[in-house]
Amino acid sequence: MSHGEFKSTLTSTAEITVKKHPIRSPASMLFSSTFIKFTALVLATRAAASPVVVGIEPQARRVCYDETPALHCYSGGSDIPQNVNETDVSYIAASLRTYGRQTKLGRLLTMTTADAPDCGEWFLYSRNSAAAYAKKIDMTYNSSVLFEEIANTIDGGTGVVKQAGIFRCRTAGGSYGVQVNATAPAYTTKEYIEAGLKPSGIIIKIVANK
């Protein structure tokens, strides 16, 4: 697909909608967690000298230790290079930045522990060879970050001197924690603070668009 959708119109030719990663369904993950615990319970009960009744109580992971905010390019020995076109990656970043700038303080991507359970992963935008996803990696609080900063995390920003960003991974693609300015006005509003949101706990991924 060459364009995605957000929740509102991005430009006259492209609309994008944040949605959950189709591959990582919270329902399927919860089922897997329950099934594994149930199997372990059955085996333990059979081995016990006397039966013990234990309640099955599925629990989501609180912190996703398998993925961190550090820049990670999919070019290591155990990685699968994504073969994305760098022009497509730049287009994705520019589109997210344009969308984010449609309001005075900037649009926010909010991922709560309820909406993105068990380290949920959401589709953001795609362009030809590449797709961008946001993943919640800390389930101990609700996260909310500016789309502008998501774009900066991908392409290093709009300044003359580029900051660190997933673009450094070139065609391999990669992941990186959203690089934020914690003093940005959007993060200091009464509504943001009272909602208990934090501008952290989200990583951005650039992968092949399949």
> Model confidence over 37-75: pLDDT tens digits?
333 333 333 333 333 333 333 344 456 768 999 999 999
Does the pTM surpass 0.85? The reply is: no
Identify which has the larger pLDDT, 13 or 112: 112
In a domain, residue 161? The reply is yes
- Contact between 179 and 153 under an 8 Å Cβ cutoff? The reply is yes
Neighbouring C-beta atoms of residue 105, cutoff 10 Å? 14
Q: Tell me the C-alpha to C-alpha distance, in Å, between residue 57 and each of 30, 38, 140.
A: 11, 10, 18
In a domain, residue 184? The reply is yes
In a domain, residue 103? The reply is yes
In a domain, residue 47? The reply is no
Among candidate residues 133, 96, 93, the one with its CA nearest the CA of residue 116: 133
Can you tell me the distance from the alpha carbon of 32 to that of 21, in angstroms, rounded to the nearest whole number?
Answer: 17
- Residue-number span of the structural domain to which 107 is assigned: 7-26+61-208
In a domain, residue 13? The reply is yes
> Residue 163 — pLDDT band, cuts 50, 70, 90?
confident
In a domain, residue 170? The reply is yes
> Residue 81 — pLDDT band, cuts 50, 70, 90?
very high
- Contact between 133 and 121 under an 8 Å Cβ cutoff? The reply is yes
Helix (H, G, I), strand (E, B) or coil at 164: coil
Can you tell me the distance from the alpha carbon of 138 to that of 195, in angstroms, rounded to the nearest whole number?
Answer: 17
How many domains in the chain?
A: 1
In a domain, residue 201? The reply is yes
In a domain, residue 66? The reply is yes
pLDDT of the residue at 145:
99
Task: Report the range of poorest mean pLDDT among 33-47, 142-156, 177-191.
Answer: 33-47
- Contact between 11 and 91 under an 8 Å Cβ cutoff? The reply is no
